[in-house]
Amino acid sequence: MADTQEFADAGPLAGYVVVDLSRALAGPHAGMMLGDLGARVIKVEAPGHGDESRTWGPPFLGPDDQPVSSYFLSANRNKESVTADLKSEAGRELLTRLVQRADVLIENFRTGVLDRLGFSVERLHEINPRLVVLSITGFGPDGPEAGRAGYDQIAQGEAGIMSLTGEPGHPTKVGVPIGDLLAGMYGVSGLLAALLERERTGRGRVVRTSLLSALVGVHAFQGTRWTVAGEVPHAIGNHHPSIAPYGLFNAADGALQVAVGNDVSWRAFAVVVGLDPADPRFATNRLRVQHRDDLVAEIEKAFAAHPRDHWLSLLSDAGIASGKVRSIDEVYEWEQTRSQGLLVDVEHPLLGTVQLPGPAVRFDDAPPKRHAPPPLLGEHDESVRAWLAES
């Protein structure tokens, strides 16, 4: 059994206790981020089956009678797992004792479920006035559609992301559950602010976000195209709606990407590919956007003469942002990825040494953090209960 305290003693959140009641991805991702920062994260799961993402696959690894989902592995490192039936008296008693010791509670139940279990916000703050609660829902805690179940692809469609992604006329989801992941990240930023506030006030508060909020929150310039300019954005494939040339192009042996962010860069880029930088169709970004189809055709005609690496070398020498389109295996084999600590080794009790995608944040002057593997279901039932009994 992994002793997660051995791994949680370093980081800016060392000493903080997080009770993670969430499952699937948005809440677990938030909990994992806090564990990466040094907090002790105790994941409370239903007996017998636990977090439903334990059954999401293939791929599964390990023995046939105890399969391990790679999906679950992606969002649950640096956590302990305890089992409790929150509908039972014993389960409610365990959760009460955990809340008494906790700094943070994460939940992503549908609106009203936690209240029905006897743990309303008011009750949680009666138990522990300093508790910060992170609540993640699908479409928000109130409003006419508050009760809807929150699944990422449904939210991507409802929040307009699919209408902006892919080729024109073919709504496309983002290749990762971006609504879940963003909700987890927004939630962490809110609860960290609430923990700072607690230092002044002595009281915790509730932080709320949702898949809908997170996805609308990253509309960025696509949102203001509508709210300010009155334009309805739509998908245009692998090119930028407001900057040109900025997107994916085909060379003789494959695709590369180019980002020309200003007119100075355009003039350097045009020289590299043999175009006239003063061509009246392309002299300014506004003109290049208006004549994007002509511009893309001209660039691809030039790129077709040589392989991708030839162009990437010339573009790099000219100071033009450019790059390959890597497959996932190529990303993890890339030395730059490895140099940033984006792969971590953990010792899993069933799988042995496995590599997981690592945290996206690191701290100067801090040694590389050791990471605990995602826990087996109920792996820490005894140790967590023993810890609670000490108080």
**CA-closest candidate to residue 361, choices 42, 73, 13, 18:** 13
State what percent of residues in the chain have pLDDT above 90: 93
Q: Which residues contact 287 (CB under 8 A, 6 or more apart)?
A: 280, 281
pLDDT at 367: 85
Q: Is 279 left (phi over 0), alpha (psi -120 to 50) or beta?
A: beta
Note if the bond before 58 is cis, omega within 30 degrees.
Answer: yes
pLDDT of residue 275: 97
Query: Where do the structural domains in the chain lie, given as residue ranges?
Result: 4-218+336-390, 246-326
Dist CA 268 CA 245 (whole Å): 12
pLDDT at 4: 57
* Cis, peptide link before residue 374, omega less than 30° from 0: no
For residue 135, the SS3 value is strand
* The pairing of beta strand 246-251 with beta strand 321-324: unpaired
Give tens-digit pLDDT for 293-312.
999 999 999 999 999 999 99
Active centre residues (catalytic): 180
Residue in 181, 186, 185, 144 with CA at minimum distance from that of residue 161 = 181
Kindly tell me if the per-residue pLDDT of 6 is higher than 70. Answer: no
| CATH code for the part of the protein at 4-218+336-390 | 3.40.50.10540
Give the integer Cα–Cα distance in Å for 191 and 134: 6
State which H helix or E strand residue 212 sits in: helix 211-217
Helix (H, G, I), strand (E, B) or coil at 257: strand
Do the domains spanning 4-218+336-390 and 246-326 agree at the CATH topology level? no
- Per-residue pLDDT tens digits for 187-197: 999 999 999 99
Stretch 74-88: mean pLDDT: 97
The yes-or-no verdict on residue 85 having pLDDT over 80 is yes
CB-CB contact of 387 with 362 (8 Å): no
Q: Is the pLDDT of residue 380 over 60?
A: yes
Compute the Cα dihedral for 250, 251, 257, 263 and give only its sign: negative
CATH class of 246-326: alpha beta
How many CA within 13 A on the CB side of residue 323? 8
Looking at residue 175, its pLDDT comes to: 96
388 Cβ contact list (under 8 Å, min separation 6): 94, 97, 98, 101
* Backbone torsions φ then ψ of 158, nearest 5 degrees: -65, -30
Question: Average of pLDDT values for 127-139?
Answer: 97
Helix (H) or strand (E) holding 221: helix 221-227
- Which stretch of 1-5, 70-74, 222-226 has the lowest confidence by average pLDDT? 1-5
For the entire predicted model, the pTM comes to 0.93
Closest alpha carbon to 1 in 81, 83, 102, 110:
81
- How far apart are the C-alpha atoms of 378 and 355, rounded to whole Å? 22
Average pLDDT over residues 149-174: 96
Q: Give residue-wise pLDDT tens across range 218-238.
A: 999 999 999 999 999 999 999
pLDDT band at 130 (very low <50, low <70, confident <90, very high): very high
